[in-house]
Structure 1
């Protein structure tokens, strides 16, 4: 009896070992059990082996409970929450990697992918999916990264963590694809806006509107028999509210490159027109494509066995017959946008797309882009809790060429290898408590924004700012009571509304709490100094014995424009000041304020004791004149501006003759004959205000007579502008 019992035990042990060997060799479920936390460092990564391109997913169990965090952090918080590591060595054929993580023990798995450069201290982060996302944050216990670019025979590390959780057990599944897209060379799913505020990566809130673009950025017809892009079949998770779609399943108010769908000629090329069709057939047999109501919500979806670990094998789809008109187009695909209007080899005019070619113009590459854009609304609370699918915010799309769905006579299309795009957005399916918008006083760019976010019942906040460029911040989260100190930044002169959008969670009800803070930001005041005639200066140098006053003109821009001026040391309150001799070296400081902004600027006023001003005595006797330095007519004089503005070295004084001085109703302005291309003449008052602007006749001699009878008695500055120089002088009106 004992012998028989011993023999039976041996049989049982043998069968258990055999079962384990068979599971390891041929199964997809579990080929190795992970003890929690043993692989919480890159150097201790568990190897996921036997990943062969174009084969089924390899899945193993994992656990990050009690694991340590990563020594470095990223947007998925791998430096804050328990993180475990896995190693994958794709075969030499691999070009794409697909990763899926599921857990029943925590809500938000995260995926980060790294390429090994030399060792674990030299890792390069890999962009996930064709959208090159830095890391994936899942929801409802699942995270997925589809179609990430990898290289064959290269080692990769996958870091799995649990956002805002201590973690638990999970399954991780990996496979690789040998051939990337043959026709669509670049495509992505892009979230362009959200009504609830916050990061465009989510999590998204019940009832909010999300703006989506499904982009085919580039398409080639080279190497595939000159097939053109013809169809985009969108896939939507059941977490999107049915009110987002019309009766045929099309998102409402969508556009193709900004044009409404159905508008004749809305395609990129020739007469191509894009519209929504519900009964387009697929021309060829395909065992990987599966079509059916995959989430049980009454609508037809599509999946690919090679890319989706959850894709059920329903037997594939069966093609039709025959080109070029395809009376039997094949099994119908889910509804989608298809192009028609460019008549192919089939004489029948489209629609349907089956009898036409796609949207193209050559047999080469570089075609595109196409942007399929629309808005979707997230299911409201508590509807999003109805079942696990009603919080599924999956977005995806398949593409087809006219060799798959149009008037084309070839065999099975190589474009069927184009990978589907898929992105599952995280959702926070909780009731949203909106605390409203708090209006704050206006602020000025360049100043600091100070605000304490403090509301009862909320332990922690995250926030975003719109527009994002309005602040220069790296910290966008904090505990309740956190004080924000942000430097405000403007990119325009016009005022900008700045909105802080805070998101928190009520610790007692677990409801989501939203609060907005809003204020108007004015552009920073910018100050510049000028001297007549509108010459920008940073410092002014005058001769110690100069007897002419110097005018400093201040130009202010930005802010509200309602400026007040204060000059130091003289206390002037005008935008222009006059400095009269005798001069002293001084730093002049002006402070400009408006309703919300303040700005100060200084200019260095330097007196040069070594330069000499040679004044010309008027003797009215021309017999003793040097012919090269002729006096003006009797009663005239030469008035000179002896200012060296340093940053305006093109000023050439001592060159304009203005006579008679003093003048009554008319003056003559004369300049050297050597001056090339004089263009304009300006007359300023002593405040630097332009009173007269005159164009110089290019055929005129080197003088100009002016009527000044309308000017009041006083001193004026006259400037003459040429291509390269500015010449100035002074005029006295009696």
Structure 2
């Protein structure tokens, strides 16, 4: 906060009156007491005036004036006024003359007043012109006419090294060390410097006290800055970071310090950009200080949760490949909770396709033609804040834009991050806003991805819950791929933030890496299973099931567990015969399912697995009816045999 005793400069010129009347003592401009010691050590004194020479000036409420004067030797003066009479309640205005004499038109430079019952008041006046005469007009809040007044003025001479950069246009250049290097520091002072800009309202970025200026330029990989001002003599140092324009003063960041330090860390900035730093003190104190600036690179990841998977293959090939000629492979890519680091919206999905894919999988611009699930849009244009209608008022509540496919070279990478700065970006899905990013208006939508923000709740930041899903299908090429060597069936997808290539100028997300699904094209001759797909055996019998293919091959096989059968191999076995001894533990037939995978002995080509179903029947039990007792040579009753 600004010191509330130091009132803002009165902008309206105050006409005090032209006069040449000579009155007693120091009651007029012409008889003003001169303050000759401008170090503040020796004060000028006077009896109290009893004449209303100029009426009330600025903040003054009293009408009876006592005049003092000095010729400025520096740009800033601290003035102390003391009254000897109790209840005097001194107040004073500092005025200048249009012709530097008592015959000119007076203007109020600053005015100081307090509340309550007091006898001492002080204030600091900035922006004085060296060599110009100023008058201190003291009055009593209650028009007390008794006692004496003393006025002390501390108006230090400018220190040569403290005023060479006290104007924005004369700013000193501070060369920064590269990203990852040490802080670049400068030792300087603001003693006697001119005041900086004082904007409407009471703002952190106001600079109504002695201010000095610097210029810095960020590097190609800079994402943020650490800025600190430290001073043993300035208890409340402050700094403001502006864009590189001394006319408009567009504010980037400001810090009002305490405890002799003002520090701002990780202040987002654009790479390869020039900025202005103004250093001052909240309370108006002057002295020596050190300014240090550190460049930070971007190590942020915005796409922290993603997955690229194969969800189906049309010919039954393993999801991880290799894929057969003409086989259709469906991919799905998901992003969960995109993180808007430095307010970076997601701006592009850029895929890379291996060379095994048939050209019919893509259109003339390289986009997959078979898209099952297109990219979704999450962003919504937000309502206007309270106040007059904003530029995007008419389209608030509508979608932030659309995803569009652009061929390679349609966008340019802006910074030194994943690509070198200036690199033409590959083909991919890029976001185009349904509003004008430059003006925020609902018309003038961009047609160039370089001039667009990404998908976000414009103009809000920090929405980290956006999810995305993309599904598409590619077709593997013909067997001619094998002779041509085009057997790379990999697919990868990389996301990019709008601060990397689009209209946004804060770097972020450069640590994001592509997600890749590697795979190859099936170029060997796979064996085809020719053995039967089923058989039936009795319980406790050795299966001895032979495995055959159309070309010489080896085999691996494994059984799915059946809790009603024992003896099946549930771990992978090898051999041309399934040799398990299967026991049916129940009284009803049970089925054991084997999966057999052939591999050609000539080139190691893996064939499609075969399913073999083995039915295991339970053992029979003979039932012969009841027992009989007979004598020798006697007939027996017929016995009927049955099995269960």
The higher radius of gyration belongs to: 2
TM-score range, shorter chain: 0.3 to 0.5
- Name the TM-score, length of structure 1 as normaliser: 0.33
